[in-house]
Amino acid sequence: MNLNQILEQGYYDLHIHTTASDGAYSPKEIVQKAFKLGLKTTAITDHDSIQGVNEAQQTGHELGIRVIAGVELSTKYKGKSIDVLGYNFSLDNKELNNRLASLSEGREGRALRIINKFVDLGMPISLADVKKFSGDGNIGRPHIAKAIVAKGYIKDLQTVFDKFLSDGKPAAIDKIIISPQEGINLIHKAGGIAVIAHPGLIDDDMLVHELMQFDFDGIEVWHRKHTKEDCERYLQIAEEYGLIMTGGSDFHNDEHELGQFFYK
């Protein structure tokens, strides 16, 4: 069954994060939450990680919810972050797993460098402090920010990002980034489809059109941060380039709702 056929079968959310990256809920908890909400299909799309997919699929099997194998690959093009969503690929693909493992190692190295920057800034934290929040998942900036707040150095997460972790700020460190086409190739070689994530967040529709030179199969038309006008533009782009149209909440935590991604 292809992705279009799956999406015709009911209420879905194809952009969900778990504790395998920077989400608040475990894969099992996410699927249980989806079940209570009446979702029929979900996709676990953790950042540069597929560690949570097996657990989610097992829970989905028990509850009768389809859980698609997914991932959100971090790529960059012309200085812009371009996230590539992958769906319906083989979890056993050696090349994909090896590349994700190297990206994970890079994330930990980056985390250590960021931690050292905070130490130099008079806010000492350790890798152990950060892993209290990341668990066994990939370490991301949100986990570091949570450790800083937990230590009482700064009151809230947004301030940590605004003053220290955003691009150009004192504790910012670039992460290892692949190109969009490399991300697409990894997904295709594993038998999956590649979708450009939340194009509205790229904030440059000319660049979105330029990205269509790459071998994308789909575009995330509906996203919780897209306006009605955004969705209409990306519907047109999908039709122009013959792309699959997807949608997802980009769920991380209860600050927003699972399964809610259409404009209001």
pLDDT at 258 (0 to 100): 94
Q: What angle do CA 145, 250, 208 make, to 5 degrees?
A: 105
State the CATH architecture for 99-165.
Orthogonal Bundle (1.10)
Flag whether pLDDT at 253 surpasses 80. Answer: yes
Q: Which residue has the higher pLDDT, 264 or 206?
A: 206
Q: What angle do CA 76, 212, 46 make, to 5 degrees?
A: 45
Question: Do β-strands 193-196 and 66-77 pair in parallel, antiparallel, or remain unpaired?
Answer: unpaired
Residue with tokens 């990256």: 21
**Confidence band of 79 (pLDDT split at 50, 70, 90):** confident
Strand order in the sheet with 218-223: 12-16, 41-44, 66-77, 80-87, 193-196, 218-223, 244-248
Handedness of CA 223, 224, 230, 235 (dihedral sign): positive
pLDDT at 138 (0 to 100): 78
DSSP three-state, residue 23: coil
Burial of 112 (C-beta count, 10 Å sphere; 0-12/13-18/19+):
middle
Flag whether pLDDT at 250 surpasses 60. Answer: yes
Residue span(s) of the chain under CATH 3.20.20.140 come to 3-93+180-248
**Confidence band of 69 (pLDDT split at 50, 70, 90):** very high
CB neighbours of 147 closer than 8 A, spacing ≥ 6?
Answer: 125, 129, 130, 132, 133
Flag whether pLDDT at 207 surpasses 80. Answer: yes
pLDDT at 13 (0 to 100): 96
DSSP assigned state of 200: G
Distance CA 90, CA 59 (A): 18
CATH 1.10.10.60 fits 3-93+180-248, yes or no: no
C-beta atoms surrounding 121 within 10 Å: 13
Mean pLDDT of 32-37: 96
Q: What are phi and psi of 77, to 5 degrees?
A: -145, 125
**Confidence band of 242 (pLDDT split at 50, 70, 90):** very high
4-18, 57-71, 163-177: least confident range: 4-18
pLDDT at 240 (0 to 100): 97
**Confidence band of 95 (pLDDT split at 50, 70, 90):** very high
pLDDT at 106 (0 to 100): 82
**Phi/psi zone of residue 71: left (φ > 0), alpha (ψ -120 to 50 degrees), beta?**
beta
Confirm if 179 and 75 have CB atoms less than 8 A apart: yes
145-190: per-residue pLDDT in tens? 999 999 999 999 999 999 999 888 999 988 778 999 999 999 999 9
Provide the β-strand partners of residue 248.
223
Flag whether pLDDT at 108 surpasses 90. Answer: no
Task: State the pTM of this model.
Answer: 0.84
Per-range mean pLDDT, top range of 167-176, 214-223, 253-262:
214-223
Residue span(s) of the chain under CATH 1.10.150 come to 99-165
